[in-house]
Structure 1
Amino acid sequence: MRDDVNKIIKLISQKTYNNVTIGESEEIVEYFQDDNVIKFPYRIYYIDNSDEFIDSFNEQQKMIVHCIYSRSCDGFVRQKHMNSLLLMDYKDWPIPYIVKICDEYVLEILEMIYEILKDQDTERIKKFCLQNNVSFCKSYNRMISYWNEYYRFKYNNFHQYIGRKLFRDCFGYSKSMERRKNRSL
């Protein structure tokens, strides 16, 4: 996979949105998966030029591209690549990217992801969330915070809010996870 990542990185445009002087945020997202640590930048600012090369890639390379751009500062780019990733027969390693994007504030992305995942077997995602219980509960609380700030008046019943449904139905969130998190701190 390292060779694939290096190949893709060479093709990513070094131009950034609004001429931002950095390509990646300093904030790093970190998860554990099996015996591996998965780290990626919270945001990237590179302009999406993947349409220039993605058709020539194999499935794994396409997954890598979609994961990279799921961290874009442009919500439309995040949504486009997450949608493409979710419609693939994705492996386990992209799951952290799927979970992370769901603690953000773009309602249309949450709706899209829920629509795709609600009828699928999400046991692999639930296993990942349990393995990363502390981070996952933090993501759940972050999702609530965005609901409270941006969507509370439109969706005044939190139990009907799509973010809550996504975390509970597809990711397996439960109150017992919070209790387990508190015991491990």
Structure 2
Amino acid sequence: MFQDGFPKHLNEDVTTVVGMIPHKTYNHVTIAVSEDTIHYFQNNTVIRFPYRTYYIDSSDEVIEKLSLQQKMILHCIYSRSCDGFVRQKHIYSLLQMDYEDWAIPYIVKICDEYVVEIIELAYDILKEQDTERIKRFCLENIVPFCKSYNRMISYWNEFYRYRYNHFQTYIGRKLFRDCFGYSKSMERRAKRIVEHLT
């Protein structure tokens, strides 16, 4: 279920991490992961991971037993949690690490969602980093990336207009443009690709 979200050479580490995740779910929901999945393209491979997971958070004691790479995998998996506080905790931990390229899809995806505190956190950290690797990934996934940009706008329009009166000042716009490399020309290219495929 999680193997497709990471490179094949990490299969053993992914298995170890998944084995340490509690099998209890929030509110005793009967599904552990959503049927909906996120798809990206990276290193000539389709990356696929659940849109949401419902496992309760792992304890700090469990996390401490993991290797650095395994911790990174765990933070990626929990960035898809149904609990916004859990997502925030793990994306913060991930962004504090010298994260690998395979973690980038999880970083980009969480930033098109509705919890503005996560977007603010990501921007505060990423604005101090060289994000060329992330920009290359977004360019490689130009169609889903532009959908993410528009999704981010829709959440601003729905929930955050009162705090950020003008979209130009919205932290999500700054994140996507400054750190992820979004531009109008990318949007035009994405539209041409979609038109060509339909």
TM > 0.5 fold call: yes
Displacement after TM superposition at 1:56 (Å): 1.6
Structure-2 separation of matches of 1:34 and 1:88 = 22
1:52 is displaced (CA, Å) by 3.2
Does residue 9 of structure 2 align to residue 14 of structure 1?
no
2:72 is the counterpart of 1:63: yes
Counterpart residue type for residue 7 of structure 1: T
Gaps of 5+ in 1: none
Q: CA deviation at 1:42?
A: 0.3
Q: Deviations over 1:7-43 (max 9, x none)?
A: 1111111111011110001100010012121110000
Query: Paired residue for 1:137?
Result: 146
The structure 1 residue matched to 2:122, chosen from 113, 125, 130, is 113
Q: 1:27-85: CA deviations, max 9, x gaps?
A: 00010012121110000000002423111211110100000000000001000000000
Residue 191 of structure 2 aligns with an amino acid whose one-letter code is: N
Is 1:149 the counterpart of 2:149? The answer is no
- 2:49 aligned with 1:40: yes
Corresponding residue for 1:180? 189
Look up the match of 2:61.
52
Amino acid at match of 1:16: T
TM-score, normalization: structure 1?
Answer: 0.98
**Corresponding residue number in structure 1 for 2:136:** 127
Superimposed CA distance per residue, residues 113-152 of structure 1 (whole angstroms, 9 cap, x where no aligned partner): 0000002100000000000000000000000000000001
Letter in 1 for 2:115: V
Distance 1:93 1:124 in 2: 10
User: Residues of 1 paired with 2:191 and 2:138: CA distance?
Assistant: 15
From 92, 111, 124, the equivalent of 2:101 is 92
1:160-179 maps to which residues of 2 (within 5 A)? 160-179=169-188
In structure 2, the partner of 1:2 is: 11
Runs of 4+ in 1 over 4 A off after TM superposition: none
Question: CA RMSD, aligned part only?
Answer: 0.7
Deviates more, 1:20-29 or 1:42-51: 42-51
Give the match's secondary structure for 1:105. coil
